[in-house]
Amino acid sequence: MVQKHYVAGYENFVTFMKDFKSNGQVVNVLFTGAKLDNGVSWCSDCVEAAPFIDAALETAPAESHFIYVDVGDRPTWKDMNNPFRKDTDTHLSVIPTLIRWKNPQRLEGEQCCKADLLEMFFTDDD
């Protein structure tokens, strides 16, 4: 079963990843907008992509990790100096963004709503 982790904010993300031990297992990271009080993200693109990502996650290797990363509220994300945008490991320009940690696999924006791309993303082991 895929091990799921939840991290909110840049500093918490950096600390989590520094201490995280994947034991050689695949690590996929989803960057998404913070949830509002009603439990729904302020990011409509993230809300639209969520069911597609959740469905495709079922095809991910059982021995893998999936990290949900909350990039903050709308003003925090829209700030061009947001550290998620500047970090060479994340280099985000749009959310949602799904990456394979320390690998080239990456889906951004509306790509995260395409079932075929998501299935390839989660089943490709390189």
Round to whole Å and give the CA distance between 82 and 86: 7
What pLDDT shows up at residue 24? 87
What pLDDT shows up at residue 1? 82
- Name the residue type at position 42: W
Catalytic positions are 43, 46
Q: How confident is the model at residue 126 (pLDDT cuts 50, 70, 90)?
A: low
Residue with tokens 């034991």: 23
Q: What is the pTM of this model?
A: 0.94
Burial code (b: 16+ CB inside 10 Å, e: under 16) for 10-36 equals beebeebbeeeeeeeebbbbbbbbbbe
CATH superfamily of 3-123: Glutaredoxin (3.40.30.10)
Report pLDDT digits (tens) over 17-68: 999 988 889 999 999 999 999 999 999 999 999 999 999 999 898 899 999 9
Q: What is the mean pLDDT of residues 88-94?
A: 92
- In this predicted structure, the answer to whether residue 117 has a pLDDT above a threshold of 70 is yes
Share of the chain above pLDDT 90, in %: 84
